[in-house]
Structure 1
Amino acid sequence: MKILIVEDETELQDTIKKSLIKEHYTVETANDYTTAFDKISMYQYDCILLDIMLPKGNGLHLLKHLKQLGKSENVIIISAKNSLDDKINGLTLGADDYLTKPFHIAELTARITAVLRRKNFNGSTQVQIGNCTIDVLERTLEINSEMVHLNRKEFDILNYFSLNKNRLITKSALAEYVWGDHIDQADNFDFIYYQIKNLRKKLEDANAKICIETVYGIGYKLIEK
Protein backbone atom coordinates (compact mmCIF):
# COMPACT_ATOMS: atom_id res chain seq x y z
CA MET A 1 0.00 0.00 0.00
CA LYS A 2 1.37 3.39 -1.00
CA ILE A 3 0.61 6.63 0.82
CA LEU A 4 1.38 10.23 -0.08
CA ILE A 5 1.77 12.74 2.77
CA VAL A 6 1.10 16.32 1.65
CA GLU A 7 2.26 18.34 4.64
CA ASP A 8 4.59 21.34 4.97
CA GLU A 9 5.30 20.97 8.70
CA THR A 10 8.57 19.04 8.50
CA GLU A 11 8.46 17.58 12.01
CA LEU A 12 4.87 16.36 11.66
CA GLN A 13 5.54 14.98 8.19
CA ASP A 14 8.57 13.07 9.46
CA THR A 15 6.65 11.68 12.46
CA ILE A 16 3.80 10.45 10.26
CA LYS A 17 6.20 8.98 7.71
CA LYS A 18 8.19 7.00 10.29
CA SER A 19 5.00 5.67 11.87
CA LEU A 20 3.53 4.53 8.55
CA ILE A 21 6.77 2.89 7.44
CA LYS A 22 6.65 0.84 10.64
CA GLU A 23 3.17 -0.27 9.52
CA HIS A 24 4.78 -1.49 6.25
CA TYR A 25 3.34 1.21 4.00
CA THR A 26 5.34 2.65 1.14
CA VAL A 27 5.43 6.36 1.93
CA GLU A 28 6.13 9.41 -0.23
CA THR A 29 5.97 13.08 0.74
CA ALA A 30 5.30 16.52 -0.70
CA ASN A 31 6.09 19.76 1.12
CA ASP A 32 4.16 22.18 -1.08
CA TYR A 33 1.30 22.48 -3.55
CA THR A 34 3.44 22.26 -6.70
CA THR A 35 5.24 19.07 -5.65
CA ALA A 36 1.96 17.48 -4.57
CA PHE A 37 0.27 18.47 -7.84
CA ASP A 38 3.04 16.86 -9.88
CA LYS A 39 3.03 13.62 -7.85
CA ILE A 40 -0.75 13.29 -7.91
CA SER A 41 -0.74 13.84 -11.68
CA MET A 42 1.99 11.26 -12.35
CA TYR A 43 1.49 8.50 -9.78
CA GLN A 44 -1.19 6.34 -8.16
CA TYR A 45 -1.68 6.18 -4.39
CA ASP A 46 -3.84 4.08 -2.10
CA CYS A 47 -4.26 6.97 0.31
CA ILE A 48 -3.36 10.67 0.37
CA LEU A 49 -2.98 12.59 3.63
CA LEU A 50 -3.70 16.16 2.63
CA ASP A 51 -3.13 19.43 4.47
CA ILE A 52 -5.31 22.34 3.33
CA MET A 53 -2.94 25.26 3.93
CA LEU A 54 0.14 24.67 1.76
CA PRO A 55 2.97 26.80 0.39
CA LYS A 56 2.13 27.85 -3.20
CA GLY A 57 -1.50 26.73 -3.05
CA ASN A 58 -4.53 25.23 -1.33
CA GLY A 59 -5.10 21.54 -0.64
CA LEU A 60 -8.75 21.79 -1.68
CA HIS A 61 -7.58 22.68 -5.20
CA LEU A 62 -5.66 19.38 -5.22
CA LEU A 63 -8.90 17.58 -4.43
CA LYS A 64 -10.50 19.28 -7.44
CA HIS A 65 -7.54 18.22 -9.56
CA LEU A 66 -7.94 14.58 -8.47
CA LYS A 67 -11.60 14.75 -9.44
CA GLN A 68 -10.72 16.19 -12.86
CA LEU A 69 -8.23 13.37 -13.41
CA GLY A 70 -10.90 10.82 -12.54
CA LYS A 71 -8.73 9.31 -9.82
CA SER A 72 -10.27 7.59 -6.81
CA GLU A 73 -7.51 7.77 -4.23
CA ASN A 74 -8.62 7.65 -0.60
CA VAL A 75 -8.07 11.16 0.79
CA ILE A 76 -7.87 12.10 4.45
CA ILE A 77 -7.61 15.82 5.11
CA ILE A 78 -5.27 16.66 8.01
CA SER A 79 -5.58 20.34 8.83
CA ALA A 80 -5.42 22.85 11.67
CA LYS A 81 -8.45 24.55 10.17
CA ASN A 82 -11.44 23.37 12.17
CA SER A 83 -14.33 25.31 10.68
CA LEU A 84 -17.45 23.47 9.58
CA ASP A 85 -17.21 25.05 6.12
CA ASP A 86 -13.74 23.61 5.55
CA LYS A 87 -14.90 20.13 6.51
CA ILE A 88 -17.99 20.35 4.32
CA ASN A 89 -15.98 21.67 1.36
CA GLY A 90 -13.36 18.94 1.71
CA LEU A 91 -15.88 16.12 1.99
CA THR A 92 -17.99 17.56 -0.85
CA LEU A 93 -14.93 17.62 -3.11
CA GLY A 94 -14.33 13.92 -2.47
CA ALA A 95 -12.30 13.59 0.73
CA ASP A 96 -13.05 10.37 2.62
CA ASP A 97 -12.28 11.70 6.10
CA TYR A 98 -11.17 14.84 7.95
CA LEU A 99 -8.83 14.92 10.92
CA THR A 100 -8.11 18.14 12.80
CA LYS A 101 -4.64 18.92 14.16
CA PRO A 102 -3.33 18.15 16.69
CA PHE A 103 -4.11 14.44 16.57
CA HIS A 104 -2.62 11.20 17.87
CA ILE A 105 -0.73 9.16 15.27
CA ALA A 106 -2.62 6.06 16.42
CA GLU A 107 -5.90 7.76 15.47
CA LEU A 108 -4.54 8.70 12.04
CA THR A 109 -3.41 5.11 11.45
CA ALA A 110 -6.85 3.86 12.45
CA ARG A 111 -8.50 6.32 10.04
CA ILE A 112 -6.24 5.14 7.21
CA THR A 113 -7.08 1.52 7.96
CA ALA A 114 -10.80 2.36 7.99
CA VAL A 115 -10.88 4.17 4.64
CA LEU A 116 -8.78 1.51 2.93
CA ARG A 117 -11.02 -1.26 4.25
CA ARG A 118 -14.20 0.61 3.39
CA LYS A 119 -13.30 1.73 -0.11
CA ASN A 120 -10.87 -0.88 -1.43
CA PHE A 121 -12.16 -4.06 0.18
CA ASN A 122 -15.88 -3.48 0.75
CA GLY A 123 -15.42 -3.45 4.50
CA SER A 124 -13.26 -6.58 4.61
CA THR A 125 -9.49 -6.81 5.03
CA GLN A 126 -9.20 -9.98 2.95
CA VAL A 127 -8.99 -10.74 -0.75
CA GLN A 128 -9.86 -14.27 -1.89
CA ILE A 129 -8.41 -15.51 -5.18
CA GLY A 130 -8.60 -19.21 -5.95
CA ASN A 131 -7.37 -21.08 -2.88
CA CYS A 132 -5.41 -18.04 -1.67
CA THR A 133 -6.50 -15.66 1.08
CA ILE A 134 -4.62 -12.37 1.23
CA ASP A 135 -5.15 -10.26 4.35
CA VAL A 136 -4.10 -6.81 3.26
CA LEU A 137 -3.96 -5.21 6.69
CA GLU A 138 -2.39 -8.15 8.53
CA ARG A 139 -0.09 -8.65 5.54
CA THR A 140 -0.50 -12.42 5.49
CA LEU A 141 -1.04 -15.04 2.80
CA GLU A 142 -2.81 -18.34 3.38
CA ILE A 143 -2.99 -21.07 0.75
CA ASN A 144 -5.34 -23.96 1.53
CA SER A 145 -5.56 -22.53 5.08
CA GLU A 146 -1.78 -22.84 5.50
CA MET A 147 0.29 -19.72 6.18
CA VAL A 148 2.90 -18.89 3.55
CA HIS A 149 5.70 -16.53 4.57
CA LEU A 150 6.40 -13.62 2.22
CA ASN A 151 8.95 -10.88 2.68
CA ARG A 152 7.78 -7.28 2.53
CA LYS A 153 8.34 -6.73 -1.19
CA GLU A 154 6.88 -10.10 -2.16
CA PHE A 155 3.71 -9.27 -0.28
CA ASP A 156 3.51 -5.79 -1.81
CA ILE A 157 3.86 -7.29 -5.29
CA LEU A 158 1.20 -9.94 -4.65
CA ASN A 159 -1.13 -7.37 -3.14
CA TYR A 160 -0.77 -5.11 -6.18
CA PHE A 161 -1.50 -8.04 -8.48
CA SER A 162 -4.55 -9.00 -6.40
CA LEU A 163 -5.97 -5.51 -6.86
CA ASN A 164 -5.40 -5.83 -10.62
CA LYS A 165 -6.35 -9.45 -11.25
CA ASN A 166 -6.27 -10.44 -14.95
CA ARG A 167 -4.89 -7.03 -15.89
CA LEU A 168 -1.54 -6.50 -17.57
CA ILE A 169 0.88 -4.78 -15.19
CA THR A 170 3.93 -3.20 -16.78
CA LYS A 171 7.31 -3.56 -15.10
CA SER A 172 7.57 0.19 -14.64
CA ALA A 173 4.11 0.46 -13.04
CA LEU A 174 4.89 -2.42 -10.68
CA ALA A 175 8.26 -0.95 -9.73
CA GLU A 176 6.83 2.51 -9.14
CA TYR A 177 4.00 1.17 -6.98
CA VAL A 178 6.13 -1.10 -4.80
CA TRP A 179 9.36 0.90 -4.61
CA GLY A 180 8.06 4.48 -4.86
CA ASP A 181 8.52 7.35 -7.26
CA HIS A 182 12.33 7.35 -6.98
CA ILE A 183 12.34 4.15 -9.02
CA ASP A 184 12.97 6.17 -12.18
CA GLN A 185 16.57 6.50 -10.99
CA ALA A 186 17.12 2.75 -11.34
CA ASP A 187 19.27 1.52 -14.23
CA ASN A 188 17.08 -1.53 -14.89
CA PHE A 189 14.31 -3.68 -13.44
CA ASP A 190 16.34 -6.82 -12.69
CA PHE A 191 15.38 -6.59 -9.02
CA ILE A 192 11.72 -7.00 -9.99
CA TYR A 193 12.54 -10.20 -11.87
CA TYR A 194 14.17 -11.74 -8.79
CA GLN A 195 11.29 -10.79 -6.48
CA ILE A 196 8.78 -12.23 -8.98
CA LYS A 197 10.87 -15.40 -9.31
CA ASN A 198 10.90 -15.94 -5.54
CA LEU A 199 7.19 -15.20 -5.23
CA ARG A 200 6.34 -17.65 -8.01
CA LYS A 201 8.31 -20.42 -6.31
CA LYS A 202 6.49 -19.90 -3.03
CA LEU A 203 3.11 -19.97 -4.77
CA GLU A 204 4.02 -23.13 -6.70
CA ASP A 205 5.45 -24.91 -3.64
CA ALA A 206 2.19 -24.24 -1.76
CA ASN A 207 0.06 -25.47 -4.71
CA ALA A 208 -1.58 -22.09 -5.22
CA LYS A 209 -4.34 -21.96 -7.82
CA ILE A 210 -3.04 -18.63 -9.05
CA CYS A 211 0.03 -17.86 -11.11
CA ILE A 212 1.94 -14.86 -12.38
CA GLU A 213 2.25 -14.93 -16.15
CA THR A 214 5.01 -13.10 -17.99
CA VAL A 215 3.97 -10.94 -20.93
CA TYR A 216 7.33 -10.79 -22.62
CA GLY A 217 8.76 -7.36 -23.16
CA ILE A 218 5.95 -5.66 -21.23
CA GLY A 219 5.24 -7.01 -17.76
CA TYR A 220 3.12 -9.52 -15.84
CA LYS A 221 -0.42 -10.67 -15.20
CA LEU A 222 -1.99 -12.53 -12.24
CA ILE A 223 -4.47 -15.22 -13.28
CA GLU A 224 -6.29 -18.16 -11.72
CA LYS A 225 -5.27 -21.60 -12.96
Structure 2
Amino acid sequence: MKILIIEDEPQMLDNMRRTLEQEQYLVESAATYTEALDKIGAYAYDCILLDVMLPDGNGLKILKELKAQQKEEGVIIVSANDSLDDRIEGLNLGADDYLPKPFHMAELRARVQAVLRRRNFEGNRNIQLGNVNINPETRQVFIAEEDINLNRKEYDILTYLIANKTRLVTKAALAEHVWGDHIDQADSFDFIYSQIKNLRKKLEPASINVQAVYGVGYKLEVD
Protein backbone atom coordinates (compact mmCIF):
# COMPACT_ATOMS: atom_id res chain seq x y z
CA MET A 1 0.00 0.00 0.00
CA LYS A 2 1.27 3.46 -0.90
CA ILE A 3 0.90 6.45 1.39
CA LEU A 4 1.64 10.15 0.86
CA ILE A 5 2.45 12.28 3.92
CA ILE A 6 1.93 16.01 3.37
CA GLU A 7 3.66 17.58 6.37
CA ASP A 8 6.08 20.52 6.69
CA GLU A 9 7.43 19.83 10.20
CA PRO A 10 10.56 17.66 9.71
CA GLN A 11 10.46 15.78 13.02
CA MET A 12 6.77 14.98 12.74
CA LEU A 13 7.26 13.86 9.14
CA ASP A 14 10.17 11.61 10.14
CA ASN A 15 8.20 10.02 13.00
CA MET A 16 5.19 9.35 10.77
CA ARG A 17 7.35 7.97 7.98
CA ARG A 18 9.28 5.58 10.25
CA THR A 19 6.07 4.39 11.92
CA LEU A 20 4.38 3.57 8.63
CA GLU A 21 7.47 2.06 7.03
CA GLN A 22 7.69 -0.32 9.99
CA GLU A 23 4.25 -1.53 8.86
CA GLN A 24 5.80 -2.12 5.41
CA TYR A 25 3.88 0.64 3.67
CA LEU A 26 5.52 2.43 0.76
CA VAL A 27 5.76 6.03 1.98
CA GLU A 28 6.32 9.22 -0.01
CA SER A 29 6.23 12.78 1.30
CA ALA A 30 5.67 16.41 0.39
CA ALA A 31 6.62 19.35 2.62
CA THR A 32 4.82 22.13 0.75
CA TYR A 33 1.47 22.79 -0.90
CA THR A 34 3.15 23.10 -4.31
CA GLU A 35 5.06 19.83 -3.92
CA ALA A 36 1.88 18.09 -2.77
CA LEU A 37 -0.05 19.27 -5.84
CA ASP A 38 2.73 17.94 -8.08
CA LYS A 39 2.63 14.55 -6.31
CA ILE A 40 -1.13 14.04 -6.47
CA GLY A 41 -1.18 15.18 -10.07
CA ALA A 42 1.47 12.68 -11.13
CA TYR A 43 0.82 9.65 -8.90
CA ALA A 44 -1.95 7.66 -7.20
CA TYR A 45 -2.00 6.74 -3.50
CA ASP A 46 -4.01 4.48 -1.23
CA CYS A 47 -4.03 7.01 1.60
CA ILE A 48 -2.95 10.64 2.04
CA LEU A 49 -2.08 12.12 5.44
CA LEU A 50 -2.76 15.81 5.03
CA ASP A 51 -1.58 18.68 7.20
CA VAL A 52 -3.81 21.75 6.82
CA MET A 53 -1.22 24.39 7.74
CA LEU A 54 1.38 24.37 4.96
CA PRO A 55 3.95 27.13 4.39
CA ASP A 56 2.68 28.06 0.91
CA GLY A 57 -1.00 27.16 1.01
CA ASN A 58 -4.00 25.70 2.81
CA GLY A 59 -4.10 21.92 2.81
CA LEU A 60 -7.90 21.92 2.50
CA LYS A 61 -7.47 23.18 -1.06
CA ILE A 62 -5.71 19.91 -1.84
CA LEU A 63 -8.98 18.13 -1.04
CA LYS A 64 -10.71 20.33 -3.61
CA GLU A 65 -8.03 19.46 -6.14
CA LEU A 66 -8.41 15.73 -5.47
CA LYS A 67 -12.14 16.07 -6.12
CA ALA A 68 -11.53 18.11 -9.29
CA GLN A 69 -9.19 15.39 -10.59
CA GLN A 70 -11.74 12.70 -9.61
CA LYS A 71 -9.14 11.00 -7.42
CA GLU A 72 -10.25 8.30 -5.01
CA GLU A 73 -7.48 8.36 -2.40
CA GLY A 74 -8.41 7.97 1.24
CA VAL A 75 -7.52 11.15 3.15
CA ILE A 76 -6.82 11.66 6.85
CA ILE A 77 -6.40 15.28 7.89
CA VAL A 78 -3.59 15.55 10.45
CA SER A 79 -3.56 19.02 11.94
CA ALA A 80 -2.67 21.01 15.04
CA ASN A 81 -5.59 23.30 14.24
CA ASP A 82 -8.31 21.27 15.94
CA SER A 83 -11.19 23.64 15.20
CA LEU A 84 -14.70 22.36 14.61
CA ASP A 85 -15.03 24.46 11.45
CA ASP A 86 -11.91 22.89 9.91
CA ARG A 87 -13.12 19.39 10.81
CA ILE A 88 -16.52 19.97 9.23
CA GLU A 89 -15.07 21.62 6.12
CA GLY A 90 -12.49 18.86 5.67
CA LEU A 91 -15.05 16.08 6.02
CA ASN A 92 -17.48 17.88 3.72
CA LEU A 93 -14.71 18.16 1.12
CA GLY A 94 -14.23 14.39 1.15
CA ALA A 95 -11.72 13.60 3.91
CA ASP A 96 -12.23 10.19 5.53
CA ASP A 97 -10.97 11.10 8.99
CA TYR A 98 -9.50 13.92 11.10
CA LEU A 99 -6.63 13.29 13.54
CA PRO A 100 -5.69 16.28 15.73
CA LYS A 101 -2.08 16.80 16.81
CA PRO A 102 -0.50 15.68 19.06
CA PHE A 103 -1.35 12.01 18.66
CA HIS A 104 0.17 8.63 19.44
CA MET A 105 1.73 6.80 16.50
CA ALA A 106 -0.30 3.71 17.45
CA GLU A 107 -3.46 5.71 16.78
CA LEU A 108 -2.07 6.87 13.44
CA ARG A 109 -1.45 3.24 12.44
CA ALA A 110 -4.99 2.26 13.46
CA ARG A 111 -6.58 5.17 11.57
CA VAL A 112 -4.59 4.38 8.41
CA GLN A 113 -5.51 0.70 8.60
CA ALA A 114 -9.19 1.58 8.99
CA VAL A 115 -9.16 3.89 5.95
CA LEU A 116 -7.34 1.31 3.83
CA ARG A 117 -9.85 -1.38 4.80
CA ARG A 118 -12.80 0.85 3.89
CA ARG A 119 -11.27 2.08 0.65
CA ASN A 120 -9.71 -1.10 -0.73
CA PHE A 121 -11.38 -4.03 0.96
CA GLU A 122 -14.94 -2.88 1.77
CA GLY A 123 -14.10 -2.59 5.47
CA ASN A 124 -13.16 -6.26 5.84
CA ARG A 125 -10.44 -7.27 8.26
CA ASN A 126 -9.90 -10.43 6.23
CA ILE A 127 -10.10 -10.88 2.47
CA GLN A 128 -11.41 -14.19 1.17
CA LEU A 129 -11.07 -15.15 -2.50
CA GLY A 130 -11.64 -18.82 -3.18
CA ASN A 131 -9.21 -20.74 -0.98
CA VAL A 132 -7.07 -17.65 -0.38
CA ASN A 133 -7.40 -15.67 2.85
CA ILE A 134 -5.48 -12.45 3.48
CA ASN A 135 -5.15 -10.42 6.67
CA PRO A 136 -4.20 -6.87 5.59
CA GLU A 137 -3.15 -5.83 9.10
CA THR A 138 -0.66 -8.67 9.63
CA ARG A 139 0.11 -9.00 5.89
CA GLN A 140 -0.38 -12.76 6.15
CA VAL A 141 -1.55 -14.79 3.17
CA PHE A 142 -3.05 -18.26 3.57
CA ILE A 143 -3.87 -20.77 0.85
CA ALA A 144 -6.19 -23.48 2.18
CA GLU A 145 -5.08 -22.46 5.71
CA GLU A 146 -1.37 -22.82 4.86
CA ASP A 147 0.69 -19.69 5.53
CA ILE A 148 2.37 -18.50 2.31
CA ASN A 149 5.51 -16.38 2.65
CA LEU A 150 5.42 -13.39 0.29
CA ASN A 151 8.01 -10.61 0.20
CA ARG A 152 6.78 -7.02 0.43
CA LYS A 153 6.58 -6.41 -3.30
CA GLU A 154 4.85 -9.73 -3.99
CA TYR A 155 2.31 -8.95 -1.27
CA ASP A 156 1.73 -5.41 -2.58
CA ILE A 157 1.25 -6.70 -6.13
CA LEU A 158 -1.27 -9.29 -4.94
CA THR A 159 -3.32 -6.88 -2.81
CA TYR A 160 -3.29 -4.20 -5.52
CA LEU A 161 -4.62 -6.72 -8.03
CA ILE A 162 -7.26 -7.84 -5.50
CA ALA A 163 -8.32 -4.23 -4.83
CA ASN A 164 -8.72 -3.86 -8.62
CA LYS A 165 -9.99 -7.37 -9.31
CA THR A 166 -12.64 -6.22 -11.77
CA ARG A 167 -10.14 -4.19 -13.81
CA LEU A 168 -7.18 -4.68 -16.08
CA VAL A 169 -4.16 -3.21 -14.30
CA THR A 170 -1.55 -1.70 -16.60
CA LYS A 171 2.14 -2.39 -16.06
CA ALA A 172 2.71 1.32 -15.47
CA ALA A 173 0.04 1.55 -12.76
CA LEU A 174 1.30 -1.59 -11.04
CA ALA A 175 4.92 -0.44 -11.12
CA GLU A 176 4.07 2.99 -9.74
CA HIS A 177 1.94 1.53 -6.96
CA VAL A 178 4.57 -0.95 -5.79
CA TRP A 179 7.78 1.01 -6.46
CA GLY A 180 6.51 4.57 -6.00
CA ASP A 181 7.96 7.62 -7.70
CA HIS A 182 11.31 5.80 -8.10
CA ILE A 183 9.68 4.23 -11.15
CA ASP A 184 10.52 7.44 -13.04
CA GLN A 185 14.17 6.35 -13.02
CA ALA A 186 13.47 2.96 -14.62
CA ASP A 187 14.18 2.34 -18.30
CA SER A 188 11.66 -0.51 -18.58
CA PHE A 189 9.24 -2.65 -16.60
CA ASP A 190 11.44 -5.74 -16.75
CA PHE A 191 11.83 -5.76 -12.96
CA ILE A 192 8.08 -6.46 -12.63
CA TYR A 193 8.29 -9.73 -14.49
CA SER A 194 10.48 -11.50 -11.94
CA GLN A 195 8.16 -10.47 -9.09
CA ILE A 196 5.09 -11.65 -11.03
CA LYS A 197 6.85 -14.93 -11.89
CA ASN A 198 7.67 -15.59 -8.23
CA LEU A 199 4.16 -14.62 -7.13
CA ARG A 200 2.56 -16.97 -9.66
CA LYS A 201 4.73 -19.84 -8.45
CA LYS A 202 3.69 -19.25 -4.84
CA LEU A 203 0.03 -19.04 -5.89
CA GLU A 204 0.04 -22.35 -7.78
CA PRO A 205 -2.09 -24.13 -5.12
CA ALA A 206 -4.52 -21.19 -5.02
CA SER A 207 -7.87 -20.77 -6.73
CA ILE A 208 -6.73 -17.37 -7.99
CA ASN A 209 -4.12 -16.62 -10.62
CA VAL A 210 -2.46 -13.63 -12.24
CA GLN A 211 -3.19 -13.47 -15.96
CA ALA A 212 -0.98 -11.45 -18.30
CA VAL A 213 -2.63 -9.38 -21.02
CA TYR A 214 0.08 -9.14 -23.63
CA GLY A 215 1.55 -5.68 -24.03
CA VAL A 216 -0.84 -4.10 -21.52
CA GLY A 217 -0.71 -5.47 -17.98
CA TYR A 218 -2.27 -7.99 -15.63
CA LYS A 219 -5.62 -9.12 -14.31
CA LEU A 220 -6.56 -11.30 -11.36
CA GLU A 221 -8.74 -14.30 -12.15
CA VAL A 222 -10.65 -16.40 -9.64
CA ASP A 223 -11.36 -20.02 -10.56
| Structures share fold, TM-score greater than 0.5 | yes
2:206 aligns to what? 208
C-alpha deviation, 1:170, in angstroms: 1.3
Separation in 1, partners of 2:136, 2:100: 27
- Aligned AA for 1:23? E
C-alpha deviation, 1:121, in angstroms: 2.4
1:141 aligns to what? 141
Separation in 2, partners of 1:34, 1:170: 28
Separation in 1, partners of 2:69, 2:187: 30
List aligned pairs for 1:5-154, cutoff 5 A. Answer: 5-154=5-154
Distance 1:167 1:118, change over 3 A: closer
Q: Which runs of 5+ in 1 are unaligned?
A: none
**Stretch moving more, 152-161 or 126-135:** 126-135
**Stretch moving more, 129-138 or 60-69:** 129-138
1:218 aligns to what? 216
SS at match of 1:217: coil
C-alpha deviation, 1:120, in angstroms: 2.9
**Stretch moving more, 113-122 or 83-92:** 113-122
Separation in 1, partners of 2:50, 2:151: 30
- Aligned AA for 1:95? A
TM-score by length of 1: 0.95
Percent identity reads: 62
- Aligned AA for 1:77? I
Separation in 1, partners of 2:52, 2:44: 20
Give the count of matched residue pairs. 223
- Aligned AA for 2:198? N
- Aligned AA for 2:47? C
CA shift digits 1:29-60 (9 cap, x unpaired): 00101111111122111110000011221100
SS at match of 1:141: strand
SS at match of 2:98: strand
C-alpha deviation, 1:119, in angstroms: 3.5
C-alpha deviation, 1:176, in angstroms: 0.4
**Stretch moving more, 154-163 or 215-224:** 215-224
**Stretch moving more, 190-199 or 211-220:** 211-220
**Stretch moving more, 127-136 or 17-26:** 127-136
Separation in 1, partners of 2:166, 2:149: 24
Separation in 1, partners of 2:178, 2:23: 15
Separation in 2, partners of 1:116, 1:169: 19
CA shift digits 1:136-186 (9 cap, x unpaired): 221111111211111111101101111111421111111100011121101
C-alpha deviation, 1:97, in angstroms: 1.1
C-alpha deviation, 1:85, in angstroms: 0.9
The Cα RMSD (Å) is 1.2
C-alpha deviation, 1:23, in angstroms: 0.4
C-alpha deviation, 1:209, in angstroms: 1.2
2:182 aligns to what? 182
Separation in 2, partners of 1:21, 1:177: 15
C-alpha deviation, 1:99, in angstroms: 1.2
TM-score by length of 2: 0.96
